């Protein structure tokens, strides 16, 4: 198909499609001439993924570009790719923002995870996010709040992940053939579901009083 049809079928305007190609979110079409190109089902799928990452997960265009570049990279270690994706998800370009309080919180989070027996990369950006969450919580509640306050959430997270990762290491509902793309979907697309259900559960439980 040509760009007009791609636009019509995906619901994304032509200028925006061109913009996504320029920014590297979408590969260019297969060239059929010096200034003609043909687009395929793959482009439609990619556009759906892009819209999902933007509208549902709220990712920035540059974060999506990083993820797509990794998806398009042919043979690479999946764990390594997952790390790149995870970093992009957490706003990978966020400054380390050196501060004593953050350093202390980071150390507390790390040792709490070690206590749990979780093995994660020491430089995982999610650690930094958790640490800065702890800093904020300490500022708003009380300064000595221990990382152990995370316990109920850690328990729930582990339960969810145990269900998500089935027998063969596939993310929930993900066909292994999809590879990294499946991991991205599995990681990101279910986040709004989890958060939305938590909010509704709040409403439900509070309403019952």
Partner DNA sequence: CAATATCGGATAGTGAGACTATCCTTTGGG
Partner DNA sequence: CCCAAAGGATAGTCTCACTATCCGATATTG
Of a copy of itself, DNA, none, which one does residue 11 interact with (CB within 5 to 8 Å by kind)? none
Of a copy of itself, DNA, none, which one does residue 189 interact with (CB within 5 to 8 Å by kind)? a copy of itself
Sites for a copy of itself among residues 168-197 (CB under 8 A): 169, 172-173, 185, 187, 189-197
CB 23 within 8 A of CB 61: yes
User: Could you tell me the two tokens for 180?
Assistant: 């990294």
Tell me how far, at minimum, the Cβ of 200 lies from a copy of itself, in Å: 5
Q: Does 195 bind DNA (CB under 7 A)?
A: no
When binding is defined by CB under 7 A, the residue of 11, 33, 117, 207 that contacts DNA is 33
Q: Does 13 bind DNA (CB under 7 A)?
A: yes
d(CA 120, CA 16): 38
Cβ-based neighbour number of residue 73 at 10 Å:
12
d(CA 168, CA 176): 9
Sites for a copy of itself among residues 57-96 (CB under 8 A): 58, 79, 82, 86, 89-90
Task: Name, in order, each residue with C-beta under 8 angstroms of 18's C-beta and a sequence gap of 6 or more.
Answer: 3
d(CA 10, CA 2): 12
When binding is defined by CB under 7 A, the residue of 9, 27, 44, 54 that contacts DNA is 54
Size of the site for a copy of itself (CB under 8 A): 72
């Amino acid at each position: 198909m040509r760009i007009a049809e791609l636009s019509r079928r995906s619901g994304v305007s032509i200028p925006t499609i061109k913009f996504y190609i320029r920014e590297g979110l979408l590969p260019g079409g297969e060239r059929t001439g010096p200034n003609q190109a043909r687009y395929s089902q793959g482009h439609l799928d990619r556009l759906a993924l892009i819209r999902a990452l933007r509208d549902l997960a709220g990712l920035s265009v540059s974060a999506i570009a990083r993820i797509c570049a990794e998806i398009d990279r042919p043979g690479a270690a999946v764990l390594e790719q997952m790390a790149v994706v995870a970093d992009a998800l957490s706003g990978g370009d966020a400054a380390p923002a050196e501060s004593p309080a953050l350093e202390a919180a980071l150390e507390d989070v790390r040792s709490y995870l070690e206590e749990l027996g979780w093995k994660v990369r020491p430089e995982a950006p999610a650690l930094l996010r958790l640490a800065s969450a702890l800093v904020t919580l300490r500022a708003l509640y009380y300064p000595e709040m221990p990382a152990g306050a995370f316990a109920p959430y850690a328990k729930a997270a582990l339960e969810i992940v145990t269900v998500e990762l089935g027998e063969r290491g596939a993310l929930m509902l993900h066909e292994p053939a999809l590879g990294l793309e499946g991991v991205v979907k599995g990681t990101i697309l279910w986040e709004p579901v989890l958060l939305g259900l938590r909010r509704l559960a709040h409403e439900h439980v509070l309403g019952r009083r």
